[in-house]
Chains A and B, each alone.
Chain A
């Protein structure tokens, strides 16, 4: 019965409720971090630090998920008022995206540089380019300018998940070098950087697995003129995943 009441109350005033992000954070810290981790970094429950939440694509859906829960794992929150639910939703939304910041570069010039300096030879933006490195269509919503700059100048500093380079030495002494695509205690699958092809190995047939955590397949762009780096950063920061 109370669920029906919650739904009714929710439907009535959900859209009128104003989110107080600070209040939302306080509630999140005491009620949600058990599963979603401090700052929504994830744990038993999924990480919430991403611009698009698959089960809560818009604010209305997010408020509903918070109020009603997601059976069987996520409990609802009948104890929260509509305003509190809206506040938690506001806080969760703030976790997923980097706020736009004023930047010295020019995004338009950055767009041109993106094509001429080779970036699109490895990255997709809105479906255009080559799919070797991470898709950058929403990178500006996930990463701030300082991170983007560092990733360009020192790409091996913050290697994205799924891009660990490895040298596999086979029993015959052959070397296979690629990015780790999958791995379990018994086998490893790599993707060759040169052609994107995959190869699978049994670990029992390998002499050695040399992991290269400090290396990136991406060349460093530290030698670009500073102005061009700023322009590229401005362009990347403008990519917020809002192109349909």
Chain B
């Protein structure tokens, strides 16, 4: 038996293309992009330095990939000359030199599938060993053979009919693939799941809303916990040393009517730190207790080590949808620093534990109440970027307010359970900015002003550049130190995706999608 086990292990090692050890040391191979955020720390930072403020003006489109479904939000994976992309219930492997399709995979979307409260998108795949992992709209986690696209296994994560769905890129850690679910407007009970990467067997499930008898359950009135939402629809981060998985949790439900769910509604609008082996909660931090504005904290947690007030700290930082920036101790969850980074009118500030001090009368009501930020928040699902070279956190920031209304909410499985809505202020009064914040405090260092509240993520590079895109269709680069614009390209459609960087034949390239087209840029 032992011999057989060793034999199997050998086969596994030989077949492995992207063992965990490669991903955990991603900075050693900057020519690839091995996980959603480029590294487990959620940095979306490229250690490549060929592109610089001096030469970025010469960037040209090298190839483009057209998608057949709507606007893509994909953040590709790049490994050893191949780019892996996804669309809803689809995946493709592309030749990195030409963009030609090497294989494609598709899983039919059931006819009765409905997206309740979000777009039909997919934000990317994950890779581990010899498999590519894709989360589907009908809530399956699928493992594909990375070489051929043939299906190895598919497991049902949850039933899509009551509103569960998946749009995120899975997070593959050692031996496990982790996913979260959408459905925060449909009265689901959210969770974070880990599956055995080889077999697809459920390894652990962490419910984002504690059940009876569990700590935190008392933060939900009556039976409201059963339909309390707490979705988990954006990819988390991982500290390999601490073996902790960090995940952002969505809004409580019903979104804009909190009457039936009196209490803080843990762990909605929180970051949770989960043991990678067991899924056990190590700590939590709630950004917006008893949220009534749909301010999901479904953000990529950004992990960094820095000195704060003379003390070395292991931090997790987050520019939150609620317009406050947070730096937390990622070992304990303790609040270290925080401040407003975009216009907000709902809180007087944060107390010394990081809990917001609410301004009275800012909850939605029948007549409507004007609050900043609007429901899409000061930032949303798209990624910020942290550059260890500048110590700055770059975030696309939305400056927008809305009149929030409270309405009745009746739970019927598979329908909207939202209890209100918003009317945004006129478009001409909304704007946006790419902001560079001091990563340890959130203090603004510079900003590059945008025409309208953006939907694009950010990439920073060791070459001293920051890349992103606009609603007006520009894909652009600015100087990472000053925010000075250096290069822009009209891509012909709104940018609502995350950029990445990699090498093609030893030359640095950048990829970012606009509308239905993924562009790959390089120097001629």
Task: Tell me the A residues contacting B by CB distance below 8 Å.
Answer: 2-3, 26, 29-39, 41-44, 69, 72-73, 75-77, 79, 161, 164, 182-186, 204, 213
Q: Which 4 A-B pairs have the closest CB atoms?
A: A33-B421, A184-B472, A75-B114, A72-B120
- Across the interface, which residues of A come within 8 angstroms of B114, CB to CB? 69, 75-76
Spot the interface stretch: B128-136, B309-317, B405-413. B405-413
| CA distance in complex: A30, B485 (Å) | 44
Point out the residues of chain A lying under 8 angstroms from B488, CB to CB: 185-186
Contact with A along B414-431 (1 / 0, CB 8 A): 111011111110011000
Is there a chain A Cβ closer than 8 Å to B185's Cβ? yes
Note all chain A residues with C-beta closer than 8 A to B409.
30
Indicate which residue in B419, B422, B449 contacts A185 across the interface (CB closer than 8 Å): B449
Q: Quick one: given A75-B114, A76-B114, are A38 and B120 in contact (CB under 8 Å)?
A: no
Cβ of A118 to closest chain B Cβ, rounded Å: 27
Majority secondary structure of chain A interface residues (helix, strand, loop or mixed): loop
Query: From residue 311 to 366 of chain B, which have CB atoms closer than 8 A to chain A?
Result: none
List of B residues within 8 angstroms of A30 by Cβ: 407-410, 416, 418-420
**Would you call B35 an interface residue if the criterion is a C-beta within 8 Å of the partner chain's C-beta atoms?**
no
A31 to B424, CA, bound (A): 18
B375 CB, nearest partner CB in chain A, Å: 8
**Which of A3, A38, A182, A184 sits near B470, CB closer than 8 Å?**
A184
Whether B53 sits at the interface, judged by CB under 8 Å, is no
Q: How far is the CB of A66 from chain B (nearest CB, A)?
A: 13
Is the C-beta of B178 less than 8 angstroms from some C-beta in chain A?
no
| Closest-CB distance, A108 to chain B (whole angstroms) | 36
Residue among A30, A39, A184, A185 having the largest count of chain B Cβ atoms under 10 Å: A185
The B362-393 residues at the A interface (CB cut-off 8 A) are 368, 375
Pull 26 A–B residue pairs with CB atoms less than 8 Å apart, ordered by A.
Answer: A29-B408, A29-B420, A30-B407, A30-B410, A30-B416, A30-B420, A31-B416, A33-B420, A34-B418, A37-B422, A38-B368, A38-B403, A42-B424, A43-B375, A43-B421, A72-B69, A73-B120, A75-B114, A161-B428, A182-B472, A184-B473, A185-B449, A185-B470, A185-B474, A186-B485, A204-B485
B119 part of interface (Cβ distance < 8 Å): yes
Tell me, rounded to whole Å, the shortest Cβ–Cβ distance linking A7 to chain B.
12
Kindly state whether residue B498 has any CB partner on chain A within 8 Å. no
CA–CA, A77 and B403, complex, Å: 26
B141: which A residues are within 8 A, CB to CB?
none
Tell me, yes or no, whether B111 is within 8 Å of chain A by CB: yes
Quick check: A184 and B451 within 8 Å, CB to CB?
Answer: yes
How distant is A33 from chain B, measured CB to nearest CB, in Å? Answer: 3
Which residues of the partner chain B approach A73 to less than 8 Å between Cβ atoms? Answer: 70, 115, 119-120
Q: A26, A41, A204 — which one has the most chain B CB atoms within 10 A of its CB?
A: A41
Quick one: given A30-B408, A186-B476, are A41 and B423 in contact (CB under 8 Å)?
yes
Residue B88 lies at the interface, judged by CB distance under 8 Å to chain A? yes
Given A30-B409, A72-B120, A75-B115, do A39 and B423 touch, yes or no (CB 8 Å)?
Answer: yes
- Is the CB–CB distance between B403 and A2 below 8 Å? no
Nearest A residue to B488 via CB reads: A186
Most buried by B among A26, A36, A73: A73
> Is A29 a contact partner of B405 (Cβ separation < 8 A)?
yes
Shortest CB-to-CB span from B479 to chain A, Å, is 14
Give the Cβ gap from B427 to chain A, nearest Cβ, in Å.
7
For B69, what are the chain A residues with a Cβ–Cβ distance below 8 Å? 72
B214 on interface, CB distance cutoff 8 Å: no
B111 engages A3 (CB within 8 Å): yes
- A26 to B409 alpha-carbon distance, docked (Å): 10
**B253 CB, nearest partner CB in chain A, Å:** 11
For the residues of B in contact with A, the DSSP-based class is loop
Chain B min CB distance to A138 (Å): 21
Closest to B419 in A: A30
Complex contact A33–B405 (CB within 8 A): yes
The reply to whether B116 and A29 form a contact with Cβ atoms under 8 Å apart is: no
Binding site for A on B (CB under 8 A): 69-70, 88, 111-112, 114-117, 119-120, 185, 255, 368, 375, 403, 405, 407-410, 412, 414-416, 418-424, 427-428, 448-451, 470, 472-474, 476, 485, 488, 490
Question: Which residue of B is nearest A73, CB measured?
Answer: B119
Quick one: which of A72, A76, A204 contacts B88, CB cutoff 8 A?
A72
For the complex, what is the distance from the CA of A182 to the CA of B415, rounded to whole Å? 39
Q: B473 touching A26 by the CB < 8 A rule?
A: no
Cα-based distance from A161 to B430 in the complex (angstroms): 13
B416: chain A residues at CB < 8 Å are 30-32, 34
Assess whether B421 is in contact with A34, with CB atoms less than 8 Å apart.
Answer: yes
8 extra interface residue pairs, beta carbon distance < 8 Å, beyond A34-B117, A184-B473: A3-B112, A33-B407, A34-B185, A38-B420, A38-B423, A75-B115, A79-B412, A185-B474
Shortest beta-carbon distance from B19 to chain A in Å: 36
In the complex, what's the smallest C-beta–C-beta distance from A73 to chain B, in angstroms?
A: 6
State A42–B255 Cα separation when bound (angstroms): 18
- Separation of A186 and B409 alpha carbons in the complex (Å): 44
With contacts A29-B420, A185-B448, A186-B476 taken as known, whether A35 is within 8 angstroms of B117 at the C-beta atoms is yes
Report how far A31 CA is from B488 CA in the complex, Å: 40
State the CA gap A32–B416 with chains docked (Å): 8
Residues in B whose Cβ lies below 8 Å from that of A26: 408
B415 cross-chain contacts in A, Cβ below 8 A: 31, 77, 79
Residues of A contacting B405 in the complex (Cβ-Cβ under 8 angstroms):
29, 33, 38
Q: Give Cα distance in the complex from A75 to B414, angstroms.
A: 10
Residues of B within 8 A of A79 (CB): 412, 414-415
Contacts of B422 in A (CB 8 A): 33, 37-38, 43
Q: With the chains together, A44 CA to B474 CA distance in Å?
A: 21
Inter-chain CA distance A35–B488, complex, in Å, is 32
B260 CB → nearest A CB, Å: 13
* Inter-chain contacts of B408 with A (CB < 8 A): 26, 29-30
Provide the bound-state CA to CA distance between A110 and B178, in Å: 68
Report Cα–Cα, A44/B374, bound state, in Å.
12
Q: Which residues of B contact A186 (CB under 8 A)?
A: 474, 476, 485, 488
Chain A residue with the shortest CB-CB distance to B489: A186
How many angstroms from the CA of A42 to the CA of B416 in the assembled complex? Answer: 17
**Cα distance A42–B375 in the bound complex, in angstroms:** 13
Q: Which residue of B lies closest to A44 (CB)?
A: B119
A33 to B474, CA, bound (A): 30
Query: Please, how many angstroms separate the alpha-carbon atoms of A72 and B71 in the complex?
Result: 11
